[in-house]
Amino acid sequence: MWRLKPDGPLAGKLVRFDDASGTTIFQGARVIDGTGAAPVAADVIVRGQRVVRLGTATAEELAGATLVDCRGTTIVPGLIDAHVHFNGEIASDPYRRYLWPDDRVRTIRAALCALAFLEAGFTTVRDCGITGAGYALRYAINSEMIVGPRILTAGPGISPTGGQGDWIVLPLDLVRELRPVGLLADGEDGVRLAVREVARQGADLIKVRVSHSQLGVKSEWPPVPVYTVEEIRAAVEEAHGRRLMVAAHAHGVESIRRAVAAGVDTIEHGIVLPGEDPEPVLARMAEQGTILVPTLNVYYHTVHTYRNYGLSDLGVQRGQQLLDGSPALIAAARKHGVRIAAGTDTSSRGGVGDNAREMVLLASMGLTPMEALVAATKVAAEALGAERELGTLEPGKLADLLVLERDPLADLESLLDRANIRIIAKAVEPVSRKWER
Ligand SMILES: [Zn+2]
């Protein structure tokens, strides 16, 4: 069958592994395996689409293998962005944001964003819930119609009436019909039905919007919790019963507390509002193993680039407030031993292809460069529930990896430079097989 072939920045750079790829040996690199262990000088030996081991290739392994000279380079696992969106939006004007351009145009924009994520070295992304192109892109990429990262998608997120997923500048009847952001679901039974519907559509995870917060809309601010613990717990029960993880959008300590008490797997944003004490919820997150995805990149771009897309001064101010509150959150989370995953909250406005900035921002707020890299590899894979297949270069895992000209531990910002990426290798195994039935 005819397939699109990578062109432009990916030409000659993208390596695709499948089960028939034979043995490939990346020779003589400095390897950062993503577990947090110190770098080692090693060959990376790949058979088919999986890592066999790191070490010195034997004569037997070398015979007949495809050899890739990697002397002077650093190899890292393919990066993972644990929080993106594929709605292809371009406008910040709240009246037009989800209505224009036409959703077919937005799907094409979203496909270009997916390509940009891969060009940036992100071989896997988690679409964290919005009505849009997530299912279609996952299908198109898994079946190799188009080139992009492996996608796990939440489909539309779930929100209560009047909550974050209820686009309140539009009439309620229209929101219920068009679902511009996600599904509206209220009460325990309503939430259960919504999870069942989203699971039926073929989502890889469930997203619940626990707090109210819309940066560019004159709605309630500061954000308040809009789901009860019982409603969130109903979502968690339905999701976990189907082996789906639950990601909770939560701004403010009370929203985080409710989501964690209900047993969600990841807290998205997790921002702490002025005057709040995050210590008790972070202690509980550490105890339960709840992962924090702080999405610093979206606050950075809200402040620095979203004006280009028409974001109001009000939205920019709120973004600045969230950015200002982030260092204290990151420091406290790190102190408590909460796992932190890199997720950018990038959609198709600012920040597309700038995904690695999340690691730079995490490091600027107290993580070591190694911890920042682990946040976008091992921990990000854990946030996806894909740690048995992805995130580290260990025997048996899928051979997603980057060959880099420069050492990211010496210069994390080098990850923002496309020219720094010599090879992007990606296994074809999609991890999610949803929608392939
Ligand atoms: Zn988001």
Q: Each residue of 235-281: pLDDT tens digit? A: 999 999 999 999 999 999 999 999 999 999 999 999 998 899 999 99
For 188-254, list the strands marked E by DSSP. 205-209, 245-250
Measured CA to CA, the distance from residue 16 to residue 14 in angstroms comes to: 6
Name the nearest CA neighbour of 55 among 69, 68, 42. Answer: 42
Instruction: Indicate the domain borders of the chain.
Output: 8-77+392-427, 79-384
Q: How far is the CA of 181 from the centre of ligand 1 (A)?
A: 11
Q: How far is the CA of 122 from the centre of ligand 1 (A)?
A: 17
Name the nearest CA neighbour of 364 among 286, 296, 271. Answer: 296
Q: How far is the CA of 15 from the centre of ligand 1 (A)?
A: 30
**Which of 69-83, 302-316, 352-366 comes out lowest in average pLDDT?**
302-316
Q: How far is the CA of 286 from the centre of ligand 1 (A)?
A: 22
Q: How far is the CA of 164 from the centre of ligand 1 (A)?
A: 11
- Phi-psi category of residue 36: left, alpha or beta, with phi > 0 → left and psi -120 to 50 → alpha: left
Do 429 and 49 contact (CB within 8 A), yes or no? yes
Q: How far is the CA of 403 from the centre of ligand 1 (A)?
A: 29
Measured CA to CA, the distance from residue 44 to residue 33 in angstroms comes to: 10
Q: How far is the CA of 390 from the centre of ligand 1 (A)?
A: 22
Do 297 and 358 contact (CB within 8 A), yes or no? yes
Q: How far is the CA of 268 from the centre of ligand 1 (A)?
A: 7
**Which H helix or E strand runs over 195?**
helix 187-201
Which of 131-140, 190-199, 296-305 has the largest mean confidence?
190-199
Q: How confident is the model at residue 216 (pLDDT cuts 50, 70, 90)?
A: low
Q: How far is the CA of 180 from the centre of ligand 1 (A)?
A: 14
Using DSSP bridges, classify how beta strands 23-31 and 74-77 pair: parallel, antiparallel or unpaired: parallel
Q: Quote the crossing angle between the two packed helices 229-241 and 187-201, to the nearest 10°.
A: 30
Average pLDDT score over residue span 119-144: 94
User: Are 8-77+392-427 and 79-384 equal in CATH topology?
Assistant: no
Do 384 and 354 contact (CB within 8 A), yes or no? no
Average pLDDT score over residue span 358-369: 98
Q: How far is the CA of 10 from the centre of ligand 1 (A)?
A: 27
Assign 304 to helix, strand or coil.
Answer: helix
The encoded tokens of residue 357 equal: 């900035």
Neighbours of 384 (CB within 10 A): 28
User: What's phi and psi for 25, nearest 5 deg?
Assistant: -125, 120
Q: How far is the CA of 144 from the centre of ligand 1 (A)?
A: 26
Assign 69 to helix, strand or coil.
Answer: strand
Q: How far is the CA of 320 from the centre of ligand 1 (A)?
A: 17
> How far lies 127's CA from each of 8, 28, 347, in Å?
25, 35, 9
Q: How far is the CA of 83 from the centre of ligand 1 (A)?
A: 6
Q: Which fold has domain 8-77+392-427?
A: Urease, subunit C; domain 1 (2.30.40)
Q: Answer yes or no: is pLDDT of 120 > 50.
A: yes
Neighbours of 12 (CB within 10 A): 9
Q: How far is the CA of 92 from the centre of ligand 1 (A)?
A: 15
Q: Which parts of 1-102 fold into alpha helices (H)?
A: 59-62
Assign 80 to helix, strand or coil.
Answer: strand
- Phi-psi category of residue 183: left, alpha or beta, with phi > 0 → left and psi -120 to 50 → alpha: beta
DSSP for 323-375, written as a single string: HHHHHHHHHHHHHHT--B-----B-SSTTTT-TTHHHHHHHHTT--HHHHHHH
* Residue 142 DSSP label: H
Q: How far is the CA of 306 from the centre of ligand 1 (A)?
A: 15
Name the nearest CA neighbour of 230 among 197, 187, 198. Answer: 187
Residue 220: predicted pLDDT: 62
At 338-357, the pLDDT tens digits run 999 999 999 888 899 999 99
Q: How far is the CA of 184 from the centre of ligand 1 (A)?
A: 17
Measured CA to CA, the distance from residue 415 to residue 130 in angstroms comes to: 28
Q: Answer yes or no: is pLDDT of 437 > 50.
A: no
Q: How far is the CA of 58 from the centre of ligand 1 (A)?
A: 46
| Residue 124 bridge partners (DSSP) | 80, 150
Q: How confident is the model at residue 307 (pLDDT cuts 50, 70, 90)?
A: confident
> How far lies 291's CA from each of 100, 262, 283, 345, 420, in Å?
34, 14, 12, 16, 30
> How far lies 24's CA from each of 45, 90, 329, in Å?
6, 41, 42
162 vs 4, more confident: 162
Residue tagged 């393919």 (tokens): 78
Q: How far is the CA of 59 from the centre of ligand 1 (A)?
A: 49
Q: How far is the CA of 345 from the centre of ligand 1 (A)?
A: 4
Q: How far is the CA of 376 from the centre of ligand 1 (A)?
A: 16
At 399-420, the pLDDT tens digits run 999 999 999 999 999 999 999 9
Q: How far is the CA of 129 from the centre of ligand 1 (A)?
A: 7
| Residue 47 bridge partners (DSSP) | 23, 50
Q: How far is the CA of 84 from the centre of ligand 1 (A)?
A: 6
Q: How far is the CA of 271 from the centre of ligand 1 (A)?
A: 13
Q: How far is the CA of 298 from the centre of ligand 1 (A)?
A: 9
Residue tagged 């039974």 (tokens): 189
Q: How far is the CA of 162 from the centre of ligand 1 (A)?
A: 18
C-alpha count within 13 angstroms, C-beta hemisphere, residue 337 = 6
Q: Which fold has domain 79-384?
A: TIM Barrel (3.20.20)
Q: How far is the CA of 273 from the centre of ligand 1 (A)?
A: 18
Tell me the percentage of the chain whose pLDDT exceeds 70: 96
Q: How far is the CA of 132 from the centre of ligand 1 (A)?
A: 13
